[in-house]
Amino acid sequence: MNRLALETRQVSKQFPDGTYALQNIEWGVQEGETMALIGESGSGKTTLLRLLNRLAQPTAGTIYIQGNPACSQDPIQLRRCLGYVPQDGGLFPHWTITRNVCLVPHLLNWSLQQQESQFQHLMQLVNLDAAQMAERYPIELSGGQRQRVAVARALAANPAIVLLDEPFGALDPLTRHDLQDQFLSLKARLQKTMVLVTHDIWEAFRLGDRITILKDGHIQQVGTPQELLDFPANSYVHSLVCHYHNHPE
């Protein structure tokens, strides 16, 4: 069995009012695999993602990042080693594309030449024209372009793990489809460990090597698309999967 890139042991997240966002989560992501996290809003999927890069702290249990307990690492250093793509791109509106993409390399004190060549490389990777993009501002880009820049930024410092929070959720269906295609080819080339939060079962099936289904802070089932289709663990998973069957695409 491959080493687990990400692992949670008995992890719970309880709010001050006593309700649980996540309860006793035993979960792992293997090296190089893309794990899709799916659930309704309030299911705890975004909370789980935020626990991984320590934007939130678990109230119980331990999270391991590449074998090391997350709580023993400096959160700032940890986050610089984890790529992150938020739903709306999260690009700094007052920074040029170059500055946005090279944020983490800059934080890590890369030389300007290194940053420059990395920028060229990344733009090529996400199918954008580096020369054309360099000095532009996010507002001058289309939604799809912005999201590609966000992916480039997440990959900028060559992180082993990339976290994506509904990265294609805000795009129109055509652009989304296009970007999903690019994501698949990127995934094949880079072989990175990725956690992709989505509420779109079709996207999860298409992009995820395995899928985690969350509901009300509990994991319902973890498995490959085929396993979920063939052996749904409960009626909730079954209804989700049926939804996939009925999807127009």
CB 130, min distance to other proteins, A: 11
Buried b (16+ CB within 10 A) or exposed e, 103-114: bbbeeeebeeee
- Identity of the residue, 27 or 119, whose beta carbon is nearer to other proteins in the bound complex: 119
Size of the site for other proteins (CB under 8 A): 37
Region binding other proteins by CB under 8 A among candidate stretches 130-138, 185-193, 216-224, 225-233:
130-138
Among 77, 158, 185, 234, binds other proteins (CB under 8 A): 77
Stated as kind and residue range, the H or E segment containing 8 is strand 4-14
Evaluate whether 215 touches 41 at the Cβ level (below 8 Å): no
Query: Is residue 46 a contact partner of residue 22, using CB atoms and an 8 Å limit?
Result: no
Residue 75 Cβ vs other proteins, minimum distance, rounded to whole Å: 8
Bridge partners for 131 per DSSP: none
Closest listed residue to residue 114, CA positions, set 158, 175, 49? 158
Of residues 45 and 215, the one with the C-beta less far from other proteins = 45
Distance CA 37, CA 211 (A): 6
The DSSP bridge partners found for residue 163 are 84, 195
Q: Which residue has the tokens 């793990």?
A: 161
- The reply to whether 145 sits near other proteins by the rule CB under 8 A is no
Binding of residue 107 to other proteins (CB under 8 A) = yes
Site for other proteins (CB under 8 A): which residue of 9, 64, 80, 223? 80
C-alpha angle 81/102/48, rounded to 5°? 35
> Can you tell me which of 5, 38, 102, 194 binds other proteins, judged by CB under 8 A?
102
How far apart are CB 94 and other proteins at their closest, in Å?
Answer: 3
Contact 246, 234 (CB under 8 A): no
Q: Which stretch binds other proteins (CB under 8 A): 39-47, 132-140, 209-217, 229-237?
A: 132-140
Residue whose C-alpha is closest to residue 203's, from 231, 171, 239? 171
User: Using the rule CB under 8 A, which residue among 26, 140, 181, 230 binds other proteins?
Assistant: 140
Q: Which of 125, 134, 160, 190 binds other proteins (CB under 8 A)?
A: 134
Which listed residue (31, 116, 209, 216) binds other proteins by CB under 8 A? 116
93 binds other proteins (CB under 8 A): yes
Biggest CA pair distance of the chain: 55
* 3-class DSSP state of 243: helix
Query: Which residues lie near other proteins (CB under 8 A)?
Result: 53, 55, 76-81, 84, 86, 88, 90-96, 98-99, 102-104, 106-107, 112, 115-116, 119, 134, 137-140, 153-154, 163
